[in-house]
A = this chain, B = another copy of it.
Amino acid sequence: MAREDINITPSDRGNMIRVGIIGGSGYTGLELMRILLSHPEVEITAVTSRRFAGRRLGDVFPHLMHLTDLKFEDVSLESISNRADIVFTAVPHTRAMEYVPEILRRGCRVIDLSADYRLNTRVYEKVYGVKHRDPGRRAVYGLCELHPDVRDADLVANPGCYPTGAILAAAPLVRAEVVDRVIFDAKSGISGAGAEPTNTSHFPNLAENIKPYRITTHRHHAEMTQELRELDPARIGFTPHVIPAIRGILTTAHILLRKPVEPDEVEAIFDGFYDDKPFVRVGGIPDLASVRGSNFCDIGFELEEGSDRLVVISAIDNLVKGASGQAVQNMNLMFGLDERMGLMVPGLFP
C-alpha cells in the first residue's frame, strides 16, 4: 500500500540520519524514542539523562525493554555533536538556550522542543520573565503546515502543544480574513504537565474532575498571537483546562465571524489550506480517541444558525503532533525525506 512504500523503502542516501536526544527521560524525550525506534532512516546514537546516566533505557523504562540496548549518558555537547547529524533538545525552557548555540556551532542541526526559540527575543523575555542567553538567533517555527521553510532550517523551534491545536484550527480562516475574533477553549490530558508528580497530577485530584488554570494568562497565548498575527492579540482569547486523560488536546475554537459564510465556503477554505497536508484530517467531529498515539490533527466545524459564531474543533495527541511527532515530521523535511516517514501509524483505538 502507498503508506508502506513511504515507511519502509530505504532512501538511496546510503547512510542513516544519526540522531542525538538531550533530555531523554522526560515525556517528550521518551516519545521521541518511541517514534524514532520505528523510523527506517534513523539511527539513535545518544540519549542523555543526568538522573539516569549509565543505566540502560529498558531498565529505567520497562516499556523499552528488548527494544534498544542504548544507555542514558550524561550531557556532553562535544561528544553528542560528533555522533549526530541532528540533535533534539527535549529539555525545559531556559535550559535549551544553554545548549543550542554550541551544538549549532559544532555543525549539527537542532530541533528544540522547548519554548526558547519560538518567539522573538523581546516577546520571549516578556512572556517568560527571563533574559535570553542567545538573543536574536534565527529559528523557524516548526509548524510545518504553515512554515514549509523548515526544510532549509538549521534550527527549528518546535511549537507548543496548545498552539499546535489552536493555530491549525484557526489559521486557514484567519488567512481567509473571515475572522473577527477567536476564543480557544482547550482541554488537555495531564501528560502535558510532565513526568513529575504534582498536586494537579495527583490522581484523587484529577480523576472525576476537570480543572481550568491560567485562565487568561497562559504563556502559549504568545505563540498563537504570533502565528495569527492578522488578528489583534486582544481578539485572541485562550483558556486551558486539564481533563482526566493522559494524552490529547481537544481545542474548541469559538470563532466570531467578520462576515457571513456558508458551510461549503468554510469547507473550501480548510480543504484548500490542508489539501496537501498528510497529517491534517478535515471532516466529522474530532475527539481524542481517533488521534491517540498518532501524529494526526483532526478538524471539524459547525456554523451556528442565526448567529455569527463558527465553532471549529481540533484534536491532537499533545505528545505526538503536539510535540515529538511534529519534531520528527520536521526532521524528515529538514533531511529531504517524505514528511510522513515513520509517522503514518494509526492511533491506538480503542
Which A residues have a C-beta under 8 Å from some C-beta of B?
A: 1, 3-4, 7-8, 10, 27, 30, 33-34, 37-40, 43-44, 61-69, 183, 185, 187, 189-191, 195-199, 201-213, 215-217, 233-235, 237, 239, 241, 243-248, 250, 252, 254, 278-279, 281, 283-294, 296, 298, 302-309, 311, 313, 319, 344-350
Contact = CB atoms under 8 A, between A and B. Distances in A.
A205 to B, nearest CB: 6
A201 B209 CA distance: 15
Contacts of A43: 1
B250 A210 contact: yes
16 contacts: A4-B39, A65-B281, A183-B183, A183-B254, A190-B203, A195-B350, A197-B198, A203-B203, A205-B350, A208-B245, A208-B288, A210-B248, A210-B287, A216-B311, A247-B350, A254-B254
Which among A64, A208, A307 has the highest number of chain B CB atoms within 10 Å? A208
A187 B43 CA distance: 38
- Count of chain copies: 4
Contact of A304 (B216, B241, B244): B216
Given A237-B309, A290-B62, A293-B293, A30 B349 contact: yes
A67 B3 contact: yes
Given A61-B290, A63-B291, A208-B245, 12 more contacts: A1-B37, A30-B350, A37-B346, A63-B294, A183-B254, A195-B204, A201-B204, A209-B289, A212-B252, A212-B287, A237-B309, A293-B348
Given A63-B291, A210-B288, A203 B344 contact: no
Contact of A216 (B44, B303, B345): B303
A345 B38 contact: yes
Contacts of A215: 285, 302, 311, 313
